C-alpha cells in the first residue's frame, strides 16, 4: 500500500543513500514502507458489544469485566479530547495481575476484539536487554529493529492493542533498563516520540492501547506501576472450573481435535476428577491439558476404528486422565 511518509523522514532517507550500503538501504526502506505511519483502524466503542464479547470468552469475573467496561467508558468520553491533543485526557494503561492460567492474556484478545482493533503481543518472559525492545543501531552488523517496532509492523495499524505480557519476568540484570523503556512506552508525554535505535526516527505510539500482564507486582518498578491501573485476576473455584470446562473449553477442544459432541458423553459426577486431577490449581491450564489429553485419546481410538462414541463414567475416567 502506498503511503505518505513524513517529509523529514523522506529527507533523511535521501541523505542516507550517500553513505549506506545498498543492501542495508534496501532493508531499511522495506521496514519504513511496512510501518503504519498513517493507518488507523476505526474503534468500536460499544459497551454492550464489549460485554457480549467478554462473556463469550470468559466465564464469571464480573469485577474484572466491570473494570474494563469502565475503562472503555473513559475512552469513549475522552476520545474527542485525545484526537484534539488535550493533555490529561487519557485513561491509565491496564495491567492484569494474577496467577498463571487465570486468563490474563486472553483478556487482551477480548479487548482487541471488543474495540475492533488489531492485536499484537510481546512476551517479556526472560527478556534480557532493553535493546530487545528498542532495537540496535544500524552501525552493528546484525542490527535489527526492536520488538516494539516489529509489533507495529505486524499490526499494520498505528492503534493496535499491544499486550506487554508478563512484564515482571524480565531478567534481573536488565530489569532497570527495561523498566526505563516501559516508562517511556506508557507515558503519553513521551511515547508520541518513541525512537527505535534501528529506525533512528521518532514513531508516534500515542494511539497504541498498551495492556500489561504480570503474575505479581513485586518486580515491577514503582515508576511503571504509577502509569498502570492494576486489575487483580481472581482464582477459579472448582464449580466455576466445571462450568468453564463444559461450556467453553470442551466445545473448543472437540473442534480442534476433529471431534464433535456426538463423539463424547461425560457424566456429571466425573467432572470433579477432570477439574482436579492433581489437587488445587488456581488457573485453567492444567484443566485445558487434561481435556486435550482426553480428546486426543478419543481421536486416536476413532481413527483406529475402535468406536465412534465414548461415555466417560466414574468407572473408566481414570483410563483417560494423565498419570503422574
The CATH number that applies at residue 283 is: 1.10.8.60
Q: Where does a domain end: 214, 232, 250?
A: 232
Q: Is residue 17 part of a domain?
A: no
47-57 helix and 62-83 helix, angle to the nearest 10 degrees: 140
Residue 148 lies in a domain: yes
CB contact set of 150 (below 8 Å; sequence gap of 6+): none
Q: What whole-number distance in Å separates Cα of residue 106 and Cα of residue 85?
A: 31
Residues 143 and 243 in one domain: no
- Whether 300 is covered by a domain: the verdict is yes
Among 232, 254, 274, residue at a domain's last position: 232
Q: Profile the chain (324 residues) by mean pLDDT over runs of 10 residues.
A: 80 90 91 94 91 90 87 79 45 83 87 93 94 93 94 96 95 94 90 94 93 94 93 86 92 94 93 77 81 94 92 92 70
Is there a single domain that holds both residue 290 and residue 186? no
The number of domains in the chain is: 2
Phi and psi at residue 35, to the nearest 5°: -80, 145
Residue 294: give the domain boundaries. Answer: 238-318
User: Which of 162, 178, 182 lies closest to 170, judged by CA?
Assistant: 178
pLDDT tens per residue across span 186-230:
988 889 999 999 999 999 998 999 999 999 999 999 999 999 999
267 backbone dihedrals φ, ψ, rounded to 5°: -65, 145
Residues 6+ apart with CB under 8 A from 233: 61, 64, 96, 97, 98, 99, 102, 103, 104, 107
> What's this model's pTM, rounded to 2 decimal places?
0.83
**E strands in the chain:** 93-97, 119-123, 161-165, 194-195, 202-203, 209-214, 228-232, 264-266, 310-312
State residue 87's pLDDT score: 47
Q: Are residues 191 and 177 in the same domain?
A: yes
pLDDT one-digit tens code per residue, 26-66: 999 999 999 999 999 998 889 999 999 999 888 888 888 88
Residue 30 in domain = no
Query: Do 126 and 208 belong to one domain?
Result: yes
Do 225 and 244 share a domain, yes or no? no
Report the SS3 class of residue 210: strand
Residues 174 and 43 in one domain: yes
Phi, psi of 86 (to 5 degrees): -75, 125
Residue 123 lies in a domain: yes
Which residue, 206, 232, 258, sits at the end of a domain? 232
| Confidence at residue 167, expressed as pLDDT on a 0 to 100 scale | 96
Q: Is 166 within a domain?
A: yes
Question: Is residue 52 located within the same domain as residue 76?
Answer: yes
Q: How far apart are CA 310 and CA 302, in angstroms?
A: 9
| Model pLDDT, residue 30 | 94
Could you tell me if 193 and 52 lie in one domain? Answer: yes
In a domain? residue 15: no
Residues 301 and 155 in one domain: no
Query: How far apart are alpha carbons 181 and 265 in whole angstroms?
Result: 51
- C-alpha 255/C-alpha 18 separation (Å) is 56
**152 in any annotated domain:** yes
What's 136's domain CATH number? 3.40.50.300
227 lies in the same domain as 248: no
Q: Are residues 257 and 157 part of one domain?
A: no
Residues 94 and 220 in one domain: yes
Amino acid at each position: 500500500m502506498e503511503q505518505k511518509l513524513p517529509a523529514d523522514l523522506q529527507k533523511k532517507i535521501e541523505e542516507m543513500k550517500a553513505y549506506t550500503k545498498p543492501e542495508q538501504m534496501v532493508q531499511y526502506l522495506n521496514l519504513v514502507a511496512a510501518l503504519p505511519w498513517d493507518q488507523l483502524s476505526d474503534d468500536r466503542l460499544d459497551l454492550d458489544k464489549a460485554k457480549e464479547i467478554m462473556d463469550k470468552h470468559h466465564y464469571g469475573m464480573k469485577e474484572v469485566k466491570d473494570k474494563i467496561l469502565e475503562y472503555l467508558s473513559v475512552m469513549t468520553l475522552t476520545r474527542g479530547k485525545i484526537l484534539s491533543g488535550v493533555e490529561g485526557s487519557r485513561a491509565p494503561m491496564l495491567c492484569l495481575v494474577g496467577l498463571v492460567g487465570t486468563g490474563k492474556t486472553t483478556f487482551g484478545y477480548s479487548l482487541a476484539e471488543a474495540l475492533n482493533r488489531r492485536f499484537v503481543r510481546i512476551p517479556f518472559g526472560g527478556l534480557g536487554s532493553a535493546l530487545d525492545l528498542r532495537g540496535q543501531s544500524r552501525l552493528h552488523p546484525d542490527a535489527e529493529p526492536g520488538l516494539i517496532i516489529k509489533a507495529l509492523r505486524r499490526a499494520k495499524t498505528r492503534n493496535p492493542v499491544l499486550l506487554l505480557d508478563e512484564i515482571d519476568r524480565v531478567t534481573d540484570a536488565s530489569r532497570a533498563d527495561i523498566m526505563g523503556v516501559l516508562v517511556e512506552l506508557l507515558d503519553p508525554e513521551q511515547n508520541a516520540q518513541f525512537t527505535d535505535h534501528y529506525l533512528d526516527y521518532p514513531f508516534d505510539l500515542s494511539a497504541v492501547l498498551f495492556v500489561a500482564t504480570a503474575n505479581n507486582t513485586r518486580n515491577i518498578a514503582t515508576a511503571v506501576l504509577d502509569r498502570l491501573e492494576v486489575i487483580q485476576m481472581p482464582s477459579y473455584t472448582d464449580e466455576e472450573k466445571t462450568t468453564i470446562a463444559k461450556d467453553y473449553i470442551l466445545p473448543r477442544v472437540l473442534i480442534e481435535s476433529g471431534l464433535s459432541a456426538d463423539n463424547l458423553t461425560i457424566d456429571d459426577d466425573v467432572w470433579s476428577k477432570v477439574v482436579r486431577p492433581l489437587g488445587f490449581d488456581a488457573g485453567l491450564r492444567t484443566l485445558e491439558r487434561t481435556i486435550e489429553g482426553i480428546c486426543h485419546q478419543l481421536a486416536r481410538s476413532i481413527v483406529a476404528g475402535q468406536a465412534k462414541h465414548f461415555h466417560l463414567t466414574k468407572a473408566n475416567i481414570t483410563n483417560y486422565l494423565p498419570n503422574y
